[in-house]
A and B are shown apart, each in its own frame.
Chain A
Amino acid sequence: KQEVTQIPAALSVPEGENLVLNCSFTDSAIYNLQWFRQDPGKGLTSLLLIQSSQREQTSGRLNASLDKSSGRSTLYIAASQPGDSATYLCAVSLLAGGFKTIFGAGTRLFVKA
């Protein structure tokens, strides 16, 4: 059974700091991994999508890596800003008795001005 774990559960950093959010999954037979951002009471916004054949993706100040063999992904946020404060979720998609997308519980990030 696929399980997705995100560490840390919450993080508070001063503005300008570079930070890393971690995501681990138990079954490496995924075909993609996505990182999302969720603001309180809102839907999810896709940040980065990494296909199973890829190692990393970059968008602006965000960089996500994927190591399928070890079941790990990291989201790197450079020069954090107060506007980055949100919950960050990772999700893996796989075929296991049908299609499934499994989310982690998220990392709540607070960037202090």
Chain B
Amino acid sequence: ETGVTQSPTHLIKTRGQQVTLRCSSQSGHNTVSWYQQALGQGPQFIFQYYREEENGRGNFPPRFSGLQFPNYSSELNVNALELDDSALYLCASSFQVWTTFSGNTIYFGEGSWLTVV
């Protein structure tokens, strides 16, 4: 049990629609990151938020956007869904001290399975 919860656990959307996935970080964590994991592959980094600001982004188009709220919960929004967006979406939280660039353990949620038809 990592204390990171994601919702919904499964959902099916139609191509062209929009989806919002939600994540509740572990208490005390100030950093949240999102990943896309296709079957049989490692997670692909989408972006990261630190204290409500995006401070890193992977190779994903702008239709992937996010938010981090003052209580450190987060959302991932995907617009204009494509079939290739079907994947497991993982949220992870951690406590980071960016002034010293020291990294701490990342804790993952169980993920949201998205199927685009």
Do A and B come together as binding partners?
yes
- A contacts, CB < 8 Å to B: 4, 31-32, 34, 36, 42-46, 49, 51, 89, 91, 93, 95, 98-106
Query: Which residues on B sit within 8 Å (CB–CB) of A45?
Result: 2, 108
CB closest chain-B residue, reference A93: B103
Q: Number of contact residues on B: which range applies?
A: 20 to 34
- Contact indicator A101/B33 (Cβ below 8 Å): yes
Cβ-neighbour of A100 out of B41, B45, B101, B102 (below 8 A):
B45
Can you report 9 residue pairs joining A to B where beta carbons are below 8 Å apart? A31-B103, A43-B110, A44-B43, A49-B104, A99-B48, A101-B48, A103-B35, A104-B42, A105-B41
- Contact indicator A34/B105 (Cβ below 8 Å): yes
Of the 9-residue stretches B11-19, B52-60, B67-75, B77-85, which lies at the interface with chain A?
B52-60
CB closest chain-A residue, reference B102: A51
Whether a CB of chain A sits under 8 angstroms from the CB of B44 is yes
Q: With the chains together, A45 CA to B3 CA distance in Å?
A: 12
- Contact indicator A43/B108 (Cβ below 8 Å): yes
Q: Closest CB-CB distance, B93 to chain A, in whole Å?
A: 12
- Contact indicator A103/B103 (Cβ below 8 Å): no
Cβ-neighbour of A44 out of B44, B102, B108 (below 8 A):
B108
Encode contact with A along B95-117: 1 for CB under 8 Å, 0 otherwise: 00000011111111111000000
- Contact indicator B45/A102 (Cβ below 8 Å): yes
Cβ-neighbour of A49 out of B4, B42, B105, B111 (below 8 A):
B105
* Also in contact, A46 and B107, with CB within 8 A (given A101-B45, A104-B42): yes
